[in-house]
Amino acid sequence: MTSSDPSTGGPARAHLPQTGQRRRLALTAVPGPVGHGRRFARQALEDWGWSDSETRTDDILLIVSELLANACLHGGGPRELVLTASPAHLRVEVLDCEMLLPSPRPPHLVDAPGGHGLHIVQRLSQRWGAVAHGDGKAVWAEFDAARSPVLGTAVAPL
């Protein structure tokens, strides 16, 4: 029997304290940062009970890959991957060395190579954005614990 989290109506995340957890992975000068970041994220998701079909692990890992790849291509390389989880939400952040904030490339051409990363992030997460800081930026995406099968739609509590 699966217990329910009253704040989300979704499955309870037994491995997380009510205040949540944060994990950080330094990526400056790390070879293969995308694969390294995916392995790190997969382990965190498993440890936190976010690696089930209801939380769409593959979607989260795809966004980790997209954000890290964008940092490699457009941000001077990723500096850090930060994962923050609570029973209700998961936040993925990638910090890089470029202060220029990203935006999806308009128009989005499905059959053209490149330029799809932020459209994928926008489509698969509930929220995303970017914020500049002293020596770069952080690009982030958030996921709610309870989601319907329709992408980007939160499930209403019962």
DSSP 79-125: EEEEEEE-SSEEEEEEEES--SPP-PPSS--TTSSS--HHHHHHHHS
Q: What is the 3-state secondary structure (H, E, C) of 118-135?
A: HHHHHHHCCEEEEEEECC
Whole-number pLDDT of residue 19: 64
Q: Indicate the angle between helix axes 33-48 and 57-74, nearest 10 degrees.
A: 150
Give a yes or no: residue 14 inside a domain: no
Give a yes or no: residue 4 inside a domain: no
What tens digit of pLDDT does each residue of 29-72 get?
A: 999 999 999 999 999 999 888 876 666 899 999 999 999 999 99
Give a yes or no: residue 16 inside a domain: no
What tens digit of pLDDT does each residue of 76-117 get?
A: 999 999 999 988 899 999 999 999 999 887 766 667 667 778
Q: What is the domain extent for residue 120?
A: 21-144
Whole-number pLDDT of residue 65: 97
Q: What is the CATH number of the domain that holds 129?
A: 3.30.565.10
Distance CA 102, CA 98 (A): 10
- DSSP helix/strand/coil, 16: coil
- Amino acid letter, 39: R
Give the count of domains, the chain.
1
Mean pLDDT in the chain? 81
Whole-number pLDDT of residue 87: 82
Give a yes or no: residue 72 inside a domain: yes
Give a yes or no: residue 93 inside a domain: yes
Whole-number pLDDT of residue 93: 98
Q: Which of 55, 41, 46, 54 is nearest to 15 (CA)?
A: 46
Give a yes or no: residue 7 inside a domain: no
Q: What is the pTM of this model?
A: 0.78
